[in-house]
């Protein structure tokens, strides 16, 4: 799988099956599918070290919601998508305690701006706990990228974590996919944390429970595909060095990032504040 780059566990699992013997079974991995609010949902659970090695992902649960039909823009599409995100997220969050949300990525680079944009759609309550005692405490931040701050995401997230002492951390980041039809169409939620930039070969310090000492949940949407992966799929060959480092993204990525950021923001709000509805959020966040 050296020529294949993807942050999506379901794609890694599908690629393994494509290249395995017909009689082969993948030990250490469990996969299932169902429909949630009329959107397909795939769960891939990596159970042990064998599964980790086979798929190149850490042990944990990866849930991927296919929202391709969202772009048909039916009347209920937004509510169904946000409620689906909330239904996936809520069971893997601690029941009580403050939550820290980190929007990872580069605001100045549209395909990488999902995390920072999402923060504008979050209901931030940590500073209002005395006047809103029935609301769960939520804090959020976006610290930029290494090239503009000199700090890796793991460094500034860890620093704020030590101060806020959250019950869990939610990370929001843009991902890389293997297949073009996954771009802006898949939402992956995992309980494993993440390694920023890993999908594009730009590995940074891991943001996970081992490093941050609290549960870390990652939420991401693929916005780019590596040209190396596309050429490999078409020709079966690896590209030369002069062709590496190029990525494909949709031509409407600016508009889609804005909409996807709102879907994730509202979904997170509904998971953390279940007493609210999307109508309530429209009034509170306008």
Structure tokens, 169: 């951390």
Mean pLDDT of 228-252: 77
Q: Under a CB-based contact definition with an 8 Å cutoff, are residues 155 and 53 in contact?
A: no
The mean of the pLDDT values for the chain is: 91
Distance in angstroms (rounded) separating the CA atoms of residues 94 and 111: 31
> 92: closest CA among 261, 268, 222?
268
pLDDT of residue 151: 87
In this prediction, residues 91-114 reach a mean pLDDT of 95
% of the chain exceeding 70 in pLDDT: 92
Q: What's the per-residue H, E or C state across 218-259?
A: EEEEEEEEEHHHHHHHHHCCCCCHHHCCCEECCCCHHHHHHH
How remote is the C-alpha of 264 from its chain's centroid?
A: 9
Strands 138-141 and 60-66: unpaired
- Rounded CA separation 165/58 (Å): 25
Tokens linked to 168: 């869990």
User: What is the rounded distance in angstroms from the CA atom of residue 141 to the CA atom of residue 103?
Assistant: 6
Radius of gyration (Cα) for the chain, nearest Å?
19
pLDDT top residue among 228 and 109: 109
DSSP state of 166: -
- pLDDT for 150 equals 83
Q: Which long-range contacts (CB under 8 A, 24 or more apart) does 68-71 make?
A: 68/181, 68/185, 69/38, 69/39, 70/39, 70/185, 70/263, 71/185
Q: What per-residue confidence (pLDDT) applies to 1?
A: 41
The predicted model gives 154-177 an average pLDDT of: 96
More confident residue, 2 or 128: 128
What is the reported pLDDT for 243? 60
Instruction: Kindly report, residue by residue over 184-236, the tens digit of the pLDDT.
Output: 999 999 999 998 765 555 556 899 999 999 999 999 999 999 888 788 777 77
The dihedral through the CA atoms of 213, 217, 221, 222 has a sign that is positive
Please give the C-alpha separations between residue 204 and each of 151, 207, 219, 247, 257, in angstroms, as whole numbers: 11, 9, 17, 19, 23
Question: What distances in angstroms separate CA 88 from CA 36, 123, 165, 200, 245, one per listed residue?
Answer: 9, 19, 24, 26, 34
Domains of the chain with bracketed CATH: 9-276 (3.40.50.1450)
Q: Indicate the pairing of strand 186-190 with strand 60-66.
A: antiparallel
């Amino acid at each position: 799988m050296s020529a294949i780059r993807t942050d999506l566990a379901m794609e890694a699992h599908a690629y393994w099956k494509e290249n395995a013997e017909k009689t082969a079974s993948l030990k250490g991995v469990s996969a299932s599918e169902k429909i949630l609010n009329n959107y397909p949902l795939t769960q891939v659970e990596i159970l042990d070290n064998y599964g980790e090695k086979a798929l190149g992902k850490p042990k944990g649960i990866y849930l991927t919601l296919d929202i391709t039909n969202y772009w048909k823009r039916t009347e209920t599409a937004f509510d169904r998508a946000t409620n689906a995100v909330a239904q996936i997220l809520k069971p893997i969050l601690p029941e009580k305690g403050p939550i820290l949300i980190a929007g990872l990525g580069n605001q100045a680079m549209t395909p990488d701006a999902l995390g920072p944009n999402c923060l504008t759609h979050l209901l931030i309550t940590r500073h209002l706990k005395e006047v809103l005692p029935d609301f769960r405490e939520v804090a959020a931040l976006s610290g930029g990228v290494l090239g503009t701050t000199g700090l890796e995401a793991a460094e500034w997230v860890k620093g704020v974590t030590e101060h806020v002492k959250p019950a869990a951390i939610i990370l929001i980041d843009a991902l890389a996919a293997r297949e073009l039809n996954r771009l802006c169409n898949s939402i992956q939620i995992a309980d494993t944390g993440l390694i920023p930039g890993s999908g594009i070969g730009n590995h940074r310090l891991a943001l996970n429970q081992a490093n941050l000492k609290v549960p870390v949940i990652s939420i991401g949407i693929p916005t780019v595909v590596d040209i190396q992966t596309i050429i490999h799929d078409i020709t079966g060959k690896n590209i030369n060095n002069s062709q590496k480092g190029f990525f494909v993204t949709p031509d409407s990525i600016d508009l889609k990032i804005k909409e996807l950021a709102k879907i994730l923001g509202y979904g997170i709000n509904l998971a953390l504040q279940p007493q609210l509805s999307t109508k309530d959020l429209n009034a509170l966040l306008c």
